[in-house]
Amino acid sequence: MSIPELARDLPRRRRTRRVWPARLALLGPGTAWWLVFFLAPVGVLVVYSFFRRGPYGGVVYDWTLDNYRRALDDLYIGVLLTSVRIAVVSTAAALLIGYPAAYYIARAERRHRVVLLVLVILPFWTSFLIRTYAWIVLLNPEGLINRVARALGFGPLPLLYNEFAVVVGLVYAYLPLMVLPIYASLERLGPVPGEAAADLYAGPATTFRKVTLPLTLPGVVAGCIFVFVPSLGNFIVPDLLGGGQKVMIGNLIQQQFLTARDWPFGAVLAMSVVALMLVVLAVQAQVLRRQQEVEGGHA
């Protein structure tokens, strides 16, 4: 590099040196949190997964792959597939409920939006355990729903201790996590694209299918991930509302760590959930990349 080029490049290098301390100050706490509370525990799980359980619990540090071979048993694969199916159904139900709710909030008058958003997040102000127990009261054979069903002549209904109750509990628990990202996408979108589509004689259904939904797809994908991932690993809802009839992967992991005290095998099961999460995040990144390419092409 010649001397004139070095002279021109010097101010940029000085600016870079001044920017880096600010970047470290902003990124440092979040990076430290990620390293300590995510990367380090996952690293411990990876290491434990290659050891074996002791005679009385704990970990014996003998290298083995038996835990991974055991995890490939049809029993555990079936539990994982059941967990994925329930999580997918819960995510789809949350999307069908959450998108119209987010759309209504985004199109409501500005002075009403804050109240509606508070109502969306209001369940988070109560303990998750208490909210789950409340559904037991509502869904049991003597609960409010079955009383109304009997009064109408078609009860009692089998609403509790089955997969339906688990899905209801998961949808109720994580529905705000679906509504809020979609609302953010709709609110950022504004009414202009819809008005432009109407000027081109597009009907409401066509406008939603070809304009609103594609442009809010990042919020939809984020909401689906926010619901799918915790639903997959949840063990409280299947235990309380499912009554132990439906064992999900979260219940199995809890049993291995707290009841069977088989930490290495529990680590393998937990790693399967982490692997699924990484696959879902990879799909999200691919969808967002394609969305950006489409938006860039239109621009």
Separation between Cα atoms, residue 274 and residue 262, nearest integer Å: 18
How confident is the model at residue 93, as a pLDDT?
Answer: 97
- Model confidence pLDDT, tens digit, residues 121-163: 998 898 999 999 999 999 998 888 999 888 888 878 899 999 9
Does residue 8 have a pLDDT over 60?
Answer: no
- Model confidence pLDDT, tens digit, residues 202-214: 788 888 888 888 8
Does residue 176 have a pLDDT over 90?
Answer: yes
Does residue 9 have a pLDDT over 60?
Answer: no
Region of residue 143 (phi > 0: left; psi between -120 and 50: alpha; otherwise: beta): beta
- Model confidence pLDDT, tens digit, residues 59-112: 999 999 999 999 999 999 999 999 999 999 999 999 999 999 999 999 898 889
Distance in Å from the first CA to the final CA of the chain: 37
Separation between Cα atoms, residue 171 and residue 223, nearest integer Å: 12
- pLDDT band, residue 48 (cuts 50/70/90): very high
Separation between Cα atoms, residue 97 and residue 92, nearest integer Å: 9
Domain ranges of the chain: 70-298
Q: Which CATH number fits domain 70-298: 3.60.10.10, 2.10.77.10, 1.10.3720.10, 1.20.58.100?
A: 1.10.3720.10
Helix ranges (H only) for the chain are 3-34, 40-48, 66-71, 74-107, 110-121, 128-139, 144-152, 163-189, 192-199, 204-207, 213-215, 217-233, 236-240, 249-254, 263-298
How confident is the model at residue 7, as a pLDDT?
Answer: 47
